[in-house]
Chains A and B, each alone.
Chain A
Amino acid sequence: MNGVVGEIAGSVRGFLERVGAMTRFFGQVLWNSPATLLRFRLVVEQVYNTGALSLVIIMTCGLFVGMVLGLQGHDLLERFGSEDALGVGAALSLLKELGPVVTALLFAGRAGTALASELGLMRATDQISAMEIMAVDPMRRVVVPRFLGGVIAMPLLTAIFIAVALYGVQLIGVQLLGVDQGQFWSQMRGAVELGDVNEGLIKGFVFGIACSLIAVFEGYNAAPTAEGVGRATTRTVVVSAVVTLVLDYILTALML
């Protein structure tokens, strides 16, 4: 009995330790951000790595998410004879929920893992120690550019995802299932407000901060072994997904 309690206490302690370490790490990243912004070249490279390279997967998934939404939404709305509301339903659900959340999950899977394994390998092959020896701050040179790149890329990816998904909804709903084009767009325009777009972009931005931070944190603090790098990559995806969904609830409650 005592052993179980001790084990639970130990894992709670471990969890708290990680949360604390991550908070401290976040502080360090923010502290070093202005200095890195002066060397914008490094950030641009990372926008390319995290954003431009994620574009294909984001657009493909967006198209299919939109097409599924078109099918499902049409099937559901048809029962009430209000297929015309497909545009509103799809646009609002994409802007407020699906867009930011699915983009964040894909981002964690595509860009987050790349960041974590890259940093983990740097750690495992002593590149980070080498930098420290050469008096190059690895925080400024390696970690912060990756973080900022992700933060810049995520809202843009979210917007692209939503736009492509809406095209997918339109493709299935209007072209295939015969929802009236005019009703589809005009009802959407009538019901969607600028605030809804902002909500989606704010969520994308916050998820971008969370997912990028988790990826660089896990990678930077990976155990310097092959196993450690693997574990860091796995943790990146798992923790990013959980944190994204928890943050999503909090943000929704705040902005509703």
Chain B
Amino acid sequence: MRQSRAIDVSTGLFVLLGFAAIMFLVTQITNREYSWRDQSYRLHARFENVGGLKAGAPVSMAGVTIGRVESIGYDMDLFKAIVTLRIDAHYDRIPNDSDAAIYTAGLLGGQYVGLTPGNSEDAYRDGDDIEFVQDAIVLEKLISKYLFSQAGKDKASAPAAQE
């Protein structure tokens, strides 16, 4: 009996360790965050285009991650994407004229939301809207802009060449 109890103890220890390892893998190295208490507040930002931004992407200020993109929806009244940002509660003095922009992290990185602080004395509160936003840069738009401007130049110079 004594021996079988010792076996039970080490088996239990092993199983617990196994589940602890699974929990570690699921919570610590994936982008899911399971927090016991939700100490954060939410800000909304409306973008014309969010590009490849995904829920769970970091929100950073001066390169420091201060929160995550909670959800991305579509505002049918303004025809804009509405991005809800969940900001960590201890970053509670972000000036309420700060602007949000969507950037791409490195060549291979994903997109994230960067906040740049403004000059206002007042801070953002839970549920505030971010007024000044800058959309994600869409590569195709840039290319087509460039192509059209080139075509415009060609047209301008083409008649001169024909004459």
Contact = CB atoms under 8 A, between A and B. Distances in A.
Contacts of A197: 22, 25-26, 29-30
Contacts of A15: none
B4 to A, nearest CB: 8
Interface stretch (B7-15, B86-94, B113-121): B7-15
A159 B11 contact: no
A52 B29 contact: no
B21 A44 contact: no
Given A44-B8, A159-B21, A186-B58, A55 B14 contact: yes
A162 B13 contact: no
Contact of A160 (B11, B21, B58, B109): B21
B17 A160 contact: yes
A150 to B, nearest CB: 13
B146 interface: no
B139 to A, nearest CB: 21
Interface string A143-166: 000000000010111011011101
B18 to A, nearest CB: 3
A47 interface: yes
Contacts of B28: 185, 189
B31 interface: yes
A156 B31 contact: no
Nearest to A163: B21
A164 B17 CA distance: 11
B32 interface: yes
Contacts of B132: none
A52 B26 contact: no
Size class of the contact patch on chain B: 20 to 34
B14 A156 contact: yes
A139 interface: no
B127 interface: no
A227 interface: no
Contacts of B58: 186, 190
A192 B26 CA distance: 10
Contacts of A164: 21
A173 interface: no
Given A163-B25, A194-B32, A48 B17 contact: no
A109 interface: no
Contact of A155 (B18, B31, B57): B18
B69 to A, nearest CB: 12
A192 B24 CA distance: 13
A190 B31 contact: yes
Nearest to A84: B106
B21 A48 contact: no
B113 to A, nearest CB: 13
B25 to A, nearest CB: 5
B40 interface: no
Contacts of B109: 187, 190
Contacts of A192: 29-31
A91 interface: yes
B65 interface: yes
Interface of B: 4, 7-8, 10-11, 13-15, 17-22, 24-26, 28-32, 57-58, 65, 109-110
23 contacts: A45-B4, A45-B7, A48-B7, A48-B10, A51-B18, A52-B11, A55-B17, A95-B25, A153-B14, A156-B14, A156-B18, A156-B22, A159-B22, A160-B17, A160-B21, A162-B25, A163-B21, A189-B30, A190-B31, A190-B57, A194-B26, A194-B30, A200-B25
